[in-house]
Structure 1
Amino acid sequence: PGIRRISENHEQTQRLLKRHSEYFNSHPFMSSFILGSVLRLEENAINNSGNAHKDIEIIKTRLAGVLGSLGDRLFWKFLKPLASIVALIMIFTLREFYPWNMFVSLVYFLFIFNVLHLFYRLFGILQGYRSGTGVIHNKSIQCIERLNFRITCFALGFLGLLSVLELREAYAGDFLGIIIFIAASSTAFLLNYKKSLPGLGIIASLAVSFIIYSLFHLTGN
């Protein structure tokens, strides 16, 4: 739609569409930064009777891999597990309202995931269009790495809440599980902070705490 809007005639539209149909691989949500920048460069080239092909190729080459990596970590390794954890919490906390708790958890999952991914689709196009070739140095892209870490900590907190709720119900008055959970959580947090344990390793570490606690409790009985 953007190319059709800036083109002066049908032939120009077809030429631009054909050129941008070439192979391009990046994250589908984060590529919006490149789309906005390309649209701005093409518009400037049309207005100035120039050719933006070289600048566009530079932007695609430099940002495709970077945005692909950031998008994979943000959406697949962090946001999806976070949304899944929230959905699990809703299932357990609203279990007396079965089967409606399943529907509510699904709504929460879709809401959390889609709000952020739709935001980045729109925000990326706007930032790319405003920045033009400057999108390579855009601070919004540089902030995504910090956002990844914050979402990881947020997901860890939600998983901790779920763990405490389940342990309290299953073993009322027994605080051993909480102690093990805190130890495993601290270890996972530090490893993630030092980047020794990427992404879903946090969840794996906490799962181990459950196994250790369960085995210890069964042995004690």
Structure 2
Amino acid sequence: MVNSPVQTRPRIRKIDLFRVFLRSFFIQSLWNFRGLISVGFGVCLFPVLKRLYPDRTDQKERVEFLRRHFKFFNAHPYMASYALGVTIRLEEEAAAGHPEACQKLERLKDLLITILGALGDQLFWATIKPASLLVGTLGLLWFQDTAPRLAILAITFLLYNVPHFYIRYLGIVDGYQKGLEVYQSFNSASFARLQRFYLVIGVGALVVLTVSLALQFSGQGWLPLATYLAAVGVAIGFERISGNFYLAILFSVIFFVFVGFLFL
């Protein structure tokens, strides 16, 4: 039996990974109910498509490439970078004459949907985003001058986007380098340390913000203070019931405003 020759294809370069990184910021721009982020995911891979299949004679391979990645796919938009990295690695193997890589890729992407969604939601939506929001709110409450407030806004922006940008790029590089072994990245202690770091920041900012507002309202009489403390209680209770930080804040604000119109 004669083995089929391995095809010679261009190798993926660092500039290709960087181009995918830039496109990944728009991964949700073509979101739809049928495929969710699948179209955006496929568009992110255009630099890879052009690198692996540069000739017009590669039309069939290009069509098959796009069909594979325009199928249903969903993940946290930042953590999807890991799926992009793995995809680039396996597509490179497939272009080099290993068709089984495509089958492995489809199975792996199905597994990554749940993993990346859960990890990203817990890390960013439930920890980093609320912590950054609380720090920004606390800073705006403490400072009244324009310059300090602009500084606080800059700090809040960096506090949220430094891990965002880092993980978005790291995921592509890490996924490409590890390929099918990318699951090792999800067991890394670095994610746990990052989450603990922002959890400490968030809890600290929340405590300071709560005490600061309580002291501010206490100087206006017992009724504003009681209303504020009741709103805090509503927020805590609703968060325990729903598990949603943002809805808890929304309902506490609505409660505070409603009671204020009635009694203040």
TM-score exceeds 0.5: yes
Q: Give the distance between the partners of 2:187 and 2:170, measured in 1 at CA.
A: 9
Distance 1:45-1:14 versus aligned 2 partners, 3 A rule: closer
Corresponding position of 1:7: 52
Q: Give the distance between the partners of 1:7 and 1:151, measured in 2 at CA.
A: 40
Corresponding position of 2:110: 61
Corresponding position of 1:19: 67
SS in 1 for 2:75: coil
1:142 is displaced (CA, Å) by: 7.0
Q: Does the aligned pair in 1 maintain the 2:53–2:62 contact within 8 Å?
A: no
Matching of residues 47-196 of structure 1 within 5 Å: 47=96, 49-51=97-99, 52-95=101-144, 97=145, 99-140=146-187, 144=191, 147-169=194-216, 171=218
Q: Does the aligned pair in 1 maintain the 2:81–2:171 contact within 8 Å?
A: yes
1:139 is displaced (CA, Å) by: 4.3
1:200 pairs, out of 228, 245, 250, with 245
1:70 is displaced (CA, Å) by: 1.6
1:105 is displaced (CA, Å) by: 3.5
SS in 2 for 1:138: helix
Corresponding position of 2:12: none
Q: Identity of aligned pairs, percent?
A: 26
Q: Give the distance between the partners of 2:111 and 2:166, measured in 1 at CA.
A: 23
1:164 is displaced (CA, Å) by: 3.0
**Alignment size in residue pairs:** 199
Q: Given the two structures, how large is their TM-score scaled by the length of structure 2?
A: 0.59
1:16 is displaced (CA, Å) by: 5.5
Aligned-residue Cα RMSD (Å) equals 4.1
1:53 is displaced (CA, Å) by: 0.9
- 5+ residue gaps, structure 1, are 212-221
Provide, for residues 9-53 of structure 1, a one-character-per-residue CA deviation record: whole Å limited to 9, x for no partner: 332672364134423111110011111111111212323x11111
1:129 is displaced (CA, Å) by: 1.1
Provide, for residues 47-97 of structure 1, a one-character-per-residue CA deviation record: whole Å limited to 9, x for no partner: 3x11111110111011112101221222222222111111111112212x1
1:165 is displaced (CA, Å) by: 3.2
- 5+ residue gaps, structure 2, are 1-15, 18-47, 220-224, 257-264
Q: Give the distance between the partners of 2:115 and 2:190, measured in 1 at CA.
A: 13
Provide, for residues 123-152 of structure 1, a one-character-per-residue CA deviation record: whole Å limited to 9, x for no partner: 111111111001134345675356445533
1:107 is displaced (CA, Å) by: 2.3
Q: Does the aligned pair in 2 maintain the 1:79–1:113 contact within 8 Å?
A: yes
